[in-house]
Copies of this chain bind each other. A is one copy, B any other.
Amino acid sequence: MIHQETNRSSLVEAVPNFSEGRRSQVVDKIAQAIQRPGVRLLNRTSDWDHNRSVLTVAGPPAAVVEGLYQAIDVAAQEIDLFEHQGVHPRLGATDVVPLIPIREFSLADCVTLANQLGARVGEELGLPVYLYEAAATQSARRNLADVRRGQFEGLVEEISQPHRKPDFGPVQVGSAGAVIIGARQFLIAYNVYLETGDVQIAKIISKRIRESSGGMLAVKALGLLVEGRAQVSMNLVDFQVTGLPSVMEAIEQMASDFGTRIHSSELIGLLPQQALLDVASHYLKLPSLVPDQIIEYALHK
């Protein structure tokens, strides 16, 4: 097992997805199991049609990993994939567990953490584990959809094939299925509204800035019409590669080429403090801004 140095300010987030969205007592048990001392449950969402629940937790790395282990154990005991039905694709009782660096902890540290958790789940709970995204051990496993292809039912058939060999745990599938564990950067969901109702402009700008069509790295974008206004709806999947100021300036420039301007912007959900510091640092030309200079942060350390 790999050990790593973490300091007492280190924080990670995890967003485990469980294949149970109907029996709320089961979700209660999982949610209780995950809340170790220091671990904060930030969000809990269950969906009947998907028959799936998503928990968002954050805290010190060791505590979060312990909570995840306990939750995976409870889910494996309570959820039977042979009985499970739902709209959302899934491979196991605990379907997927992304680990996300928040503070004084790197993506590489989260990869190490994913390996620690995966090894323990494989050995002690006897579940097959696949590592994905930044933690993937082969390029074919980076993409979650690829790992989940064929779902639980397909994996039961295919697990003995070489290309489906788990990264940890037994080469056999029980009623709890397999667990997909990985590491990724924090995703910022950010929308920019234009001073126009012409959705085509938002669509063209979106196509130009998103990575998949040769735009900016780590940017996903879609042009939408929202309440009569053209909107560039984005996911910044690694704000340290492409952050808020960069997309703002790119969109501002393109909008001006179309004779329009940015009207306003909107942040969906949370963002790490570092993303905010990056914004201030960029626009104020203030290279040395550090979290300790925020009085509330200094107080809570």
CB distance from A211 to the nearest CB of B (A): 21
Q: Is A263 an interface residue (CB 8 A)?
A: yes
Copies of chain A in the complex: 2
Partner of A294, one of B11, B270, B293: B270
Contact, CB under 8 Å: A271 / B284: no
Residues of B within 8 A of A265 (CB): 284-286
Residues of B within 8 A of A287 (CB): 264
Q: Is A103 an interface residue (CB 8 A)?
A: yes
Q: Is A140 an interface residue (CB 8 A)?
A: no
Contact, CB under 8 Å: A296 / B283: no
Number of interface residues of A (CB under 8 A): 44
Bitwise interface map of A from 215 to 257 toward B, beta carbon under 8 Å scored 1, else 0: 0000000000000000000000000000011001000000000
Segment from A18-26, A27-35, A141-149, A274-282 that makes contact with B: A274-282
Residues of B within 8 A of A42 (CB): 295, 298-299
Known: A270-B293, A270-B294, A277-B276. A248 touches B283 (CB 8 A): yes
A interface residue numbers (CB < 8 A to B): 11, 13, 40, 42, 58-59, 102-103, 186, 244-245, 248, 262-267, 269-273, 276-277, 279-280, 282-289, 291, 293-300
